[in-house]
Structure 1
């Protein structure tokens, strides 16, 4: 098993993350990308909010 690190995005980085999502092939989209987009919206609403992806 390969362990992956965590990734943290703050409010100013979220637009770049959304642009990365836009560049994904359609086969890589789906529910998880949609859920991540919703969480990005939450982070963008106020300062001092972060989006954490916790590796395993």
Structure 2
């Protein structure tokens, strides 16, 4: 799922894709981590609370 992120384009994840994204975040090397991982996890939790919610990453 992380490979879908493009710094210049948008990426959208639905409630069914978020668990896959979370599992990839779990496997990230420590060198790639940071505050952004914590923030991404929090946003994933919001999406998982209800259907018809999406996590949007907006590129430049």
Asked if Structure 1 and Structure 2 have the same fold, meaning a TM-score greater than 0.5 normalized by the shorter chain, the answer is yes
Whose strand proportion is higher, 1 or 2?
1
Structure 2 unaligned runs (5+)?
1-6
Number of aligned residues: 54
Q: 1:47 aligns with which of 31, 35, 51?
A: 51
What does residue range 11-30 of structure 1 map to in structure 2 within 5 Å?
11-30=15-34
Structure 1 unaligned runs (5+)?
none
Task: Specify the structure having the higher radius of gyration (Cα).
Answer: 1
1:1-56 residue CA offsets vs partner (Å, 9 max, x unmatched): xx621110000000000011111110111111100000000000001100000011
TM-score by length of 2: 0.84
TM-score by length of 1: 0.90
Greater RCO, 1 or 2 (C-alpha within 8 Å, sep 6+)? 1
- Structure 1: which 4+ aligned runs deviate by more than 6 Å? none
